[in-house]
Amino acid sequence: MAPVGTTLIQCCDCPPEAEKPLPMATTTSAPGQEWEFPWREIPWQPIVTSLSIIVSTTVTLIIVCYNHRQNKKISALRNNLSFVNDQLAKLYGPLYGNRLASHKIFEEAVGELVDRETEGLVDYLIKARWIWEKNTTEGQRLLNRWRTFLYYVIHPLDLKAEEIIRDNAHLYEDGCPDVFRDFIVHVNHQKFVVARWKKSERGEKLDMDVEFSENDFSRDNNAGSSTYRLFWTLEEHVTESYEKLVKRKRRLMRLIKESTGNGGGKLEK
Ligand SMILES: *[C@@H]1O[C@H](CO)[C@@H](O)[C@H](O)[C@H]1NC(C)=O
Ligand SMILES: *[C@@H]1O[C@H](CO)[C@@H](O)[C@H](O)[C@H]1NC(C)=O
């Protein structure tokens, strides 16, 4: 009973209870003012400053990292381009021109006697010997004709090609191609063959007055160690590599242009 009584007493003579609606009334009378206060008191200026520092630092870092990666990429591309340029300028470019010239001259050399497309030096020599057996003067002329081409034009071109191949091993595509090795063996054999044709030990001229014998018409006495098939293989390898490198060079130049001069590139267009 006592607790109920006390609660009642509390309830009844509790003047503050009556005042309760008063504060409520004051809050409803000015709600806006009370809610706006905390916002106004937040120190916006320092927060904004800190935020802009964080944002600008992040942006700067992103830009720095992006530029670093971009620069690494560009310098890798530039390195590749300079290697390809070297390959073209020192090895495959000169070799390509050299082999084209050699091909043309070979065709011209054997063209008088054989079908240039299907036959080669061996057929030329067989025919020359057959003619020589019937007409010594004509046979001599045909063999001297071949030897003149080889001695004065084809052999010097082969020597030049050998030098290009020998001096630029660091620029080969895919290791040392077998065809380069075969060619070097061939050219060195050829040096011994043509050395025997000199007019004198010291001189550089071809001796045109030799009385030929049957043996002089053999293939071994008129060329290097390889058959003309080697030349087609070499020419094919050089042409393919050359064309591949030209394409690679164009691609690298395009990539570098895209990575560096984006704006400039667009402006140009
Ligand atoms: C550059 O060359 C290297 C080595 O040859 C190669 O691994 C890399 O992929 C090349 N990079 C480009 C972009 O061509
Ligand atoms: C042999 O060939 C030469 C040309 O090289 C010619 O002038 C000569 O008449 C030919 N001799 C014979 C017997 O056919």
Pick the closest to residue 199 from 189, 209, 212, 190 (CA basis).
209
Q: What is the mean pLDDT of the chain?
A: 83
CA of 80 to the centre of ligand 1 (A): 6
Q: Is 134 in the pocket of ligand 2 (CB under 6 A)?
A: no
Domain ranges of the chain: 97-246
Q: Residue 266: its pLDDT value, please?
A: 40
- Highest averaged pLDDT of the listed ranges 96-105, 196-205, 229-238: 96-105
Burial of 10 (0-12, 13-18, 19+ CB in 10 A): exposed
User: What residues form DSSP beta bridges with 228?
Assistant: none
- pLDDT at 6 > cutoff 60: no
Per cent of the chain over pLDDT 90 is 53
- Which of 100-109, 110-119, 151-160, 231-240 comes out lowest in average pLDDT? 110-119
Average pLDDT score over residue span 47-60: 90
Q: Which atom of ligand 2 is closest in space to residue 138's alpha carbon?
A: 5
What per-residue confidence (pLDDT) applies to 223?
Answer: 86
Cα–Cα distances in Å, from 172 out to 35, 163, 185, 200, 250? 79, 14, 18, 39, 19
Phi and psi at 131, nearest 5°, equal -65, -40
Distance 139 CA to ligand 2 centre (A): 9
CB of 84 shorter than 6 A to ligand 1: no
Evaluate: CB of 47 within 6 angstroms of ligand 1.
no
Which strand (E) or helix (H) includes residue 198? Answer: none
CA–CA gap between residue 192 and residue 221 (Å, rounded): 10
The region, left, alpha or beta by phi > 0 then psi within -120 to 50, assigned to residue 175 is left
**pLDDT score of 22 more than 70:** no
User: Helix, strand or coil for residue 173?
Assistant: coil
pLDDT > 60? residue 257: yes
Nearest to 234 by CA among 149, 167, 164: 164
Cβ of 137 closer than 6 Å to ligand 2, yes or no, is yes
Residue 260 burial by CB count (10 A; 0-12/13-18/19+): exposed, middle or buried?
A: middle
Q: Is the pLDDT of residue 216 over 60?
A: yes
Q: What percent of the chain has pLDDT over 70?
A: 81
Provide the residue count of the chain.
269
| Residue 258 in contact with ligand 1 by CB distance below 6 A | no
Long-range own/partner contacts, residues 146-149 (CB < 8 A, 24 or more apart): 146/109, 146/110, 146/121, 146/222, 147/197, 147/206, 147/222, 148/206, 148/208, 149/105, 149/106, 149/108, 149/109
Report the C-alpha gap between 94 and 161 in whole angstroms: 8
Crossing angle of the two packed helices 155-167 and 93-110, in degrees rounded to 10: 160
> Does 241 score more than 90 pLDDT?
yes
CA of 76 to the centre of ligand 1 (A): 7
Ligand nearest to the CA of 132: 2
**Burial of 220 per CB tally in 10 Å (0-12, 13-18, 19+):** exposed
For residue range 63-76, list pLDDT tens digits in order.
888 888 888 989 99
Residue 161: the pLDDT is: 96
Region 28-53: mean pLDDT is: 73
Average pLDDT estimate for 4-9:
48
Ramachandran category for residue 174: left, alpha or beta (phi over 0 → left; psi -120 to 50 → alpha): left
Distances (CA, A) of 241 to 71, 78, 93, 150, 172: 29, 20, 10, 27, 9
Distance of CA 238 from the midpoint of ligand 1 (Å)? 21
Each as own residue / partner, the long-range contacts of residues 48-52 (CB below 8 Å, 24 or more positions apart, any chain) are none
| Predicted pLDDT at 158 | 95
Instruction: Give the three-class secondary structure for 206.
Output: strand
Mean pLDDT computed over 175-188:
91
Query: What is the pTM for the complete model shown?
Result: 0.73
Residue 140's pLDDT band (boundaries 50, 70, 90)? very high
Q: What is the pLDDT of residue 267?
A: 40
